[in-house]
A and B are shown apart, each in its own frame.
Chain A
């Protein structure tokens, strides 16, 4: 009886732990075979809605911690409100131009793709997006979708409850992907997780030149990472 109870408890714990885990999508390299196979197909180049520039404090998990962190870093977040996304919103046009230079039939999808409105994928085969992009393909008459998904832009300062763990850093997070709409599989996937600290001092209010420079560096690095496989 006791051993059965122990076994049951262990099994419940195992299910609880593994069931909560979401496997992150691993990078998928763009291969010459993919490019060659794409030459007879129409590729739509799109982006999800650009995020608002934000300042976040991971690790400041309690309400009081968040309030304290926000107050301490209010100068940075106020300054972040004055910054723009530079060339990031035009990245899909640059990517489409790169694809066209390679002889691929690429068009720009002008409207942002709202992934929240799409159906979830079925099945759990490797390299399957969480969402089914079939509707996008039907709407724009494309065979493949090159999707630029920027989820976070701005600054981040990690905390251990009330205490900063380091200096604030500029960040860009998201992904770039080429999705075959017939199979709803990734043929190329690159996660964007770019961070940059200020060179020299960071705490130079009100304009934070070092951190601002780091911000523009991350914007450039993110664009480079998306463009590079397609030939800049």
Chain B
């Protein structure tokens, strides 16, 4: 398994791995989306902190033990009903930020996203996006389940990508990881216009960049064993125009991005201020970062 991960890292445009790895033959890479996804999944980030809902007070008289038990069960069911209704309402409220983009997103298929991501991904070999029911003949197959979140101020996209990679010849995945990437905040005055112009070109390009970058991070970091003793600290970063706080291990800071490992073990790449004494840096994903 470890040898497979080292090979994966060597094949991708992971600078450190490339510096160490000997010359590699070209290996095909196939990106595959889940079969149960018709369009690329988008949501809005959470608006407010989820608060406890108002529960129904327990009002009914309950004479006797049997009556008390029946009252408890009824009360529990009513409370559960209230909570799931309120959660649904919260999720719908979060997603209202996507209203200007619904027509474009309704036509945005996973195949289009993965083709664009594959083009951007530095890889030593031919790359393709395949249909959910296809299996490539050779090389690496990477299944992805990307979910995008548009921040409520519409300034940034956040990708949460569940990635599973295996050699086609192997029955088991060498790598399964969740990677989150927060884009740099946009600065345009009219953000809906900026994102939507030219059939959503900017949003689709950013989505593809995020997917490609998440794959680079997964391939590059998977070969390193997480240091269980590395200290956790509280990290602050911008998500759109909002400052977020995350308890995490800092894995690396390069150029204007910081890579951290969250308490859930996910990799999270976030915008960061470039270090003042850092020499001119080259982004891991050419043309983005």
Question: What residues of chain A have their CB less than 8 Å away from a CB belonging to chain B?
Answer: 86, 157-158, 160-167, 169, 195-197, 199, 204, 207, 209-210, 212-213, 216-217, 219-221
Contacts and interface: CB of A to CB of B under 8 A. Distances in A.
A207 B262 CA distance: 13
Interface stretch (B48-56, B116-124, B275-283): B48-56
Contacts of B58: 160-163
A160 B53 contact: no
A220 B247 CA distance: 10
Given A86-B234, A209-B263, A220-B245, A163 B53 contact: no
Interface in B51-85: 51-58, 72, 75-76, 79, 83
A153 B60 CA distance: 35
A221 B245 CA distance: 9
B221 interface: no
Contacts of B263: 207, 209-210, 212-213
B89 to A, nearest CB: 14
Interface string B250-289: 0000000000001111000000000000000000000000
B161 to A, nearest CB: 15
Given A207-B263, A209-B262, A216-B234, A166 B247 contact: no
Interface of B: 46, 49-58, 72, 75-76, 79, 83, 234, 236, 245-247, 262-265
**Among the interface residues A163, A199, A212, which one has the most CB atoms of the partner chain B within 10 A?**
A163
10 contacts: A160-B79, A162-B72, A165-B54, A165-B55, A166-B50, A167-B52, A196-B49, A197-B50, A210-B264, A213-B246
B31 to A, nearest CB: 25
B137 to A, nearest CB: 38
Given A195-B51, A213-B247, A220 B234 contact: yes
Nearest to A196: B49
Given A166-B51, A213-B247, 16 more contacts: A157-B52, A160-B75, A163-B79, A165-B54, A166-B50, A166-B53, A166-B83, A167-B52, A169-B49, A195-B49, A209-B262, A213-B246, A213-B263, A216-B245, A217-B247, A220-B234
A95 to B, nearest CB: 18
A165 B46 contact: no
Nearest to A218: B245
Contact of B247 (A157, A162, A216, A221): A216
Contacts of A219: 234
A177 to B, nearest CB: 25
A163 B49 contact: no
Best-buried of B75, B262, B264 by chain A (most CB within 10 Å): B264
A165 B58 CA distance: 12
A213 B262 contact: yes
A160 B57 contact: yes
Closest 10 CB pairs of A and B: A166-B52, A209-B263, A165-B55, A160-B55, A216-B247, A197-B50, A209-B264, A165-B52, A217-B245, A163-B79
A197 B51 contact: yes
Contacts of B247: 212-213, 216-217
Which of A160, A164, A210 has the most CB atoms of chain B within a 10 A radius of its CB?
A160
Nearest to A202: B50
B53 A165 contact: yes
A166 B51 CA distance: 7
B51 A163 contact: no
A216 B50 CA distance: 17
A209 B76 CA distance: 27
Contacts of B246: 213
Contacts of B234: 86, 216, 219-220
A207 B263 CA distance: 9
B95 to A, nearest CB: 16
Contacts of B56: 160
A220 to B, nearest CB: 5
Contacts of A165: 52-55, 79, 83
Contacts of A161: 58, 75
B200 to A, nearest CB: 27
Contacts of A195: 49, 51
Nearest to B72: A162
A163 to B, nearest CB: 5
B152 to A, nearest CB: 14
B240 to A, nearest CB: 15
B109 to A, nearest CB: 26
Contacts of A163: 55, 58, 75-76, 79
A212 B234 CA distance: 11
